[in-house]
Chains A and B, each alone.
Chain A
């Protein structure tokens, strides 16, 4: 018996999954003139959809008016195609959840702020900026929240190199930069 056996049953024969069709809120947004890409449901059955960056604020306003009174969480991720800002919304009236994703290119990670719609977004956007380097345009106080102000780099990016001794030693990136500078001079 191999020790590597996981508890979950092995996945069934890999059949190509059908492209997910638009869910309830995807259709709702479409009826209001906002296009979205359906991403299917997650493991807990929550509808997920992807929006264009320019549609984010108008879509969020619509969703807030249609009972999504609770912004649970903003997650930032580093995917291959770019940085993602993921919004988990919840309605305390209908008990429904929705996950909205926005992908921005790695060269210009700019997402419009929604902190004027949900106050929760204020600190979560600061955290996403701190950790992933996503710049939320229009945010009133976009500065680092958990890391020190003079921290270099964005720790949760996949290409981040952590400092060897974060308390005392210099940051490795600084050393590299220093080496590059001295090399280019000689």
Chain B
């Protein structure tokens, strides 16, 4: 976007000066409470300093003052749109140190739930992104409508709409409800893929949308990695780093999927990358449902004996459980001594937990590597030289969740 500068004013002797203004913390487009100190030359941003911490809840302190089992209920609040990923990283770190083996069925259920969670998160991200760009009516309603369907699927599974608290040490809380996989499969195949086309029809080729997003906020992949930016933001710049493919955890190595990687690096590429990830995630869910050991819960109850008996049983009995050894760990579960860093690919990037355990039932040190923290830190690099209005577009395209930044 080119800005015509009126040089006549300077010639006439008008005093021009740089202005420092405060954007936030209650700005509607800051997705929570982020404060940006902007140094402006007219409409152009010369410098920007993010001030964070308004949503700091001391998640690490809370973790170090609770037992492993008590803290499970709190981890979903770190990144409230990706509760499954939060739990997954935390539980993986514990399982690495305690060397717990997870049943195959539980692993598949984890993948299904994580991917549904990714769809929810991207849908909200896309809706809010268009809202920030000025599409007040229409688009956000579509994404929120479809988000609601998945939220109710996950509510059936875990009992909560957003703070799932579904993953447990050694597996998941309980098996899927009867008929659930059929319902999800039907919704995804018959409705969801059509809906994604609908979003693209509204936004992707919309000339106003293109002017607002193309060639705005270019992110160089080398700079991005040096700032620790991961997830769709990095992949939109052409750097193919997705932990699901890169160092597969859970059962992602048994599933086939593509990692959408674009080379644009601008705001539009980041949008496009998320749209493509929606399709990939939906395909992953369908594939995982297809491969789910034992199938739907109804089928599992019917065929359990058949599947696990005979000369060449399809599965071992422990594969079809949802919790290791078929029961929850004790409330005073002890872990360690040991140290591990476990990371998962959350909708926003590499979400990791660095856990130092001393052998007691309380973590000695628990450190979150939240992707949004790094994704915000790159903002000053991106907004320099852009008008203030683009700051909103760029920040929104990074899809940052402020509770995840501040923890």
Interface membership of chain B positions 213-253, coded 1 if the CB is closer than 8 angstroms to chain A and 0 otherwise: 00000000001011110000000000101000011000000
Interface check B170, CB cutoff 8 A: yes
Chain B residues near A144 (CB, 8 Å)? 53
8 Å CB contact of A44 from B96, B246, B329: B96
In the complex the two chains form, what is the Cα distance from A71 to B350 in whole Å? 12
Which residue of chain A has its CB nearest to the CB of B367? Answer: A75
Chain A residues near B364 (CB, 8 Å)? 77
User: In the bound complex, do residue A42 and residue B340 qualify as a contact, i.e. CB atoms below 8 Å apart?
Assistant: yes
Interface membership of chain B positions 308-347, coded 1 if the CB is closer than 8 angstroms to chain A and 0 otherwise: 0000000000000000110001111111001111110000
8 Å CB contact of B338 from A43, A71, A155: A43
Shortest CB-to-CB span from A112 to chain B, Å, is 19
Question: A120-B227, A155-B58 are contacts. A6–B330 as well, Cβ < 8 Å?
Answer: yes
* Segment at the B interface, from A23-31, A53-61, A145-153, A176-184: A145-153
User: In the bound complex, do residue A147 and residue B56 qualify as a contact, i.e. CB atoms below 8 Å apart?
Assistant: yes
Please indicate which of the listed interface residues B99, B325, B354, B377 has the most CB atoms of chain A within 10 Å of its own CB.
Answer: B354
In the complex the two chains form, what is the Cα distance from A92 to B373 in whole Å? 20
Chain A residues near B86 (CB, 8 Å)? none
Chain B residues near A95 (CB, 8 Å)? 246-247
In the complex the two chains form, what is the Cα distance from A13 to B158 in whole Å? 40
User: In the bound complex, do residue B332 and residue A4 qualify as a contact, i.e. CB atoms below 8 Å apart?
Assistant: yes
In the complex the two chains form, what is the Cα distance from A72 to B169 in whole Å? 25
User: In the bound complex, do residue B53 and residue A88 qualify as a contact, i.e. CB atoms below 8 Å apart?
Assistant: no
8 Å CB contact of B406 from A77, A146, A155: A146
Give residues of chain A (45-64) contacting chain B, Cβ–Cβ below 8 Å.
46, 48
Chain A residues near B41 (CB, 8 Å)? none
Chain A residues near B342 (CB, 8 Å)? 44
Chain B residues near A75 (CB, 8 Å)? 354, 356, 365, 367
Give residues of chain B (169-206) contacting chain A, Cβ–Cβ below 8 Å.
169-170
User: In the bound complex, do residue B228 and residue A70 qualify as a contact, i.e. CB atoms below 8 Å apart?
Assistant: yes
Interface check A3, CB cutoff 8 A: yes
Which residue of chain A has its CB nearest to the CB of B61? Answer: A155
Shortest CB-to-CB span from A164 to chain B, Å, is 15
In the complex the two chains form, what is the Cα distance from A48 to B367 in whole Å? 17
Q: Is the interface of B mostly helix, strand, loop or mixed?
A: mixed
Chain A residues near B226 (CB, 8 Å)? 69, 118-120
User: In the bound complex, do residue A77 and residue B98 qualify as a contact, i.e. CB atoms below 8 Å apart?
Assistant: no
In the complex the two chains form, what is the Cα distance from A109 to B333 in whole Å? 34
Chain A residues near B331 (CB, 8 Å)? 3
Chain B residues near A5 (CB, 8 Å)? 330
Which residue of chain B has its CB nearest to the CB of A70? Answer: B225
8 Å CB contact of A147 from B53, B170, B241: B53
User: In the bound complex, do residue A156 and residue B61 qualify as a contact, i.e. CB atoms below 8 Å apart?
Assistant: yes
Which residue of chain A has its CB nearest to the CB of B97? Answer: A43
Interface check A34, CB cutoff 8 A: no
Chain B residues near A120 (CB, 8 Å)? 226-228, 374, 377
Please indicate which of the listed interface residues A48, A71, A75, A88 has the most CB atoms of chain B within 10 Å of its own CB.
Answer: A75
Interface check B407, CB cutoff 8 A: yes
User: In the bound complex, do residue B340 and residue A72 qualify as a contact, i.e. CB atoms below 8 Å apart?
Assistant: no
Shortest CB-to-CB span from A69 to chain B, Å, is 6
Please indicate which of the listed interface residues B60, B339, B340, B352 has the most CB atoms of chain A within 10 Å of its own CB.
Answer: B339
Chain A residues near B350 (CB, 8 Å)? 72
User: In the bound complex, do residue A42 and residue B341 qualify as a contact, i.e. CB atoms below 8 Å apart?
Assistant: yes
Interface check A135, CB cutoff 8 A: no
Shortest CB-to-CB span from B225 to chain A, Å, is 6
Give residues of chain B (357-385) contacting chain A, Cβ–Cβ below 8 Å.
364-365, 367, 369, 373-374, 377
Interface check A37, CB cutoff 8 A: no
User: In the bound complex, do residue A86 and residue B98 qualify as a contact, i.e. CB atoms below 8 Å apart?
Assistant: no
Shortest CB-to-CB span from A44 to chain B, Å, is 5
Interface check B208, CB cutoff 8 A: no
In the complex the two chains form, what is the Cα distance from A7 to B53 in whole Å? 38
Interface check B52, CB cutoff 8 A: yes
Which residue of chain B has its CB nearest to the CB of A144? Answer: B53
User: In the bound complex, do residue B241 and residue A44 qualify as a contact, i.e. CB atoms below 8 Å apart?
Assistant: no
In the complex the two chains form, what is the Cα distance from A72 to B368 in whole Å? 11
Chain B residues within CB distance 8 Å of chain A: 52-53, 56, 58, 60-61, 64, 96-100, 169-170, 223, 225-228, 239, 241, 246-247, 324-325, 329-335, 338-343, 350, 352, 354, 356, 364-365, 367, 369, 373-374, 377, 406-407
Q: List 16 A-B contacts (CB under 8 A).
A: A4-B330, A4-B332, A6-B330, A6-B334, A42-B338, A42-B339, A42-B341, A43-B97, A72-B341, A73-B354, A118-B226, A118-B228, A120-B377, A146-B52, A155-B58, A156-B64
Give 11 new A-B contacts, CB below 8 A, not counting A75-B365, A92-B241, A120-B377: A4-B330, A7-B98, A7-B325, A7-B333, A42-B339, A43-B338, A48-B339, A95-B247, A119-B228, A123-B377, A155-B61
